[in-house]
Amino acid sequence: DSGVTQTPKHLITATGQRVTLRCSPRSGDLSVYWYQQSLDQGLQFLIQYYNGEERAKGNILERFSAQQFPDLHSELNLSSLELGDSALYFCASSVDGTTDTQYFGPGTRLTVL
Amino acid sequence: GQQLNQSPQSMFIQEGEDVSMNCTSSSIFNTWLWYKQDPGEGPVLLIALYKAGELTSNGRLTAQFGITRKDSFLNISASIPSDVGIYFCAGRGGNYGGSQGNLIFGKGTKLSVKP
């Protein structure tokens, strides 16, 4: 158990819909990262937050957005969902924004039908 | 953009055998990391490498940061059934937070161990 929690574990929805994935980092960790894992693309970095502020952006689509709240939990919002958005979405956390020791959560499996 | 080529894609070995896998990049990396992912779990960091030529061990695992800074290797000695999983390499090119400072992951090596 990494100490990072993600909800829900599974999510099934339809194209065009909007969903919100939630992540709670390890106690004491200030930085949160979101990744998308699909069979053909592997693990792709989406976005990083540090202490409530956006720190780095990866291959995140404009239809996706994220935020980190004052209590340091983070939410990833996916809108206008397409079939290709079906994937595992991982959240990771680290003590600060400059360490490579990222602790990954168990992931949310999103299926878009 | 930066890409990592990880090989082999999968391995099926006998318990007790040694395992080698590698990652190569088209560009230079400043950090190389190796992760393991078990089914239904998130990746877990195994080894981190920060300097060209660095050789680091974690139990039966040994990883090396290639001299050219464009590759890294992971070796597992005397494999056991619990080594089963997907091993990912990851690299970081630039500074943290910069446009090239994010982790880029390889597509993984799936390891199966036959008792």
Give the chain B residue whose CA is nearest to the CA of A42.
B107
Asked if A51 reaches chain B (Cβ–Cβ under 8 Å), the answer is: no
Three-state DSSP at A84 gives helix
- A55 and B97: CB-CB below 8 Å? yes
- B42 and A56: CB-CB below 8 Å? no
Q: Which residues of B touch A102 (CB under 8 A)?
A: 45, 103
Instruction: Check whether B96 has a pLDDT greater than 60.
Output: no
User: How far is the C-alpha of A77 from the C-alpha of A51, rounded, in Å?
Assistant: 19
Structure tokens at B22: 């590698």
Q: Using alpha carbons, select from B106, B80, B87 the residue that is nearest to residue B13.
A: B80
* Identity of residue A31: S
Share of chain A residues as helix, strand and coil, in percent rounded to the nearest 5 = 5, 55, 45
- A102 and B103: CB-CB below 8 Å? yes
Distance from CA of A101 to the nearest CA of B (A): 7
Distance from CA of A107 to the nearest CA of B (A): 6
Instruction: Check whether B100 has a pLDDT greater than 90.
Output: no
Overall average pLDDT of the B6-30 stretch: 94
Overall average pLDDT of the B4-25 stretch: 95
In the numeric block, the tokens 């390499």 are attached to: B89
Q: Which residues of A touch B42 (CB under 8 A)?
A: 2, 4, 90, 92, 104-107
Residue A79: φ, ψ to 5°: -120, 170
What is the full DSSP assignment across B54-115? -EEEETTEEEEE-TTSSEEEEEE-S--GGG-EEEEEEEE-S-TTSTT-SEEE---EEEEEE-
User: Residue B95's pLDDT band (boundaries 50, 70, 90)?
Assistant: low
Asked if A58 reaches chain B (Cβ–Cβ under 8 Å), the answer is: yes
- The confidence score (pLDDT) of residue A2 equals 86
Overall average pLDDT of the B16-36 stretch: 94
**pLDDT by 10s per residue, chain A, length 113:** 889 999 999 999 999 999 999 999 999 999 999 999 987 778 899 999 999 999 989 889 999 999 999 999 999 999 999 999 999 999 999 998 777 788 999 999 999 99
pLDDT in tens, B39-85: 888 999 999 999 999 999 999 999 999 999 999 999 999 999 999 99
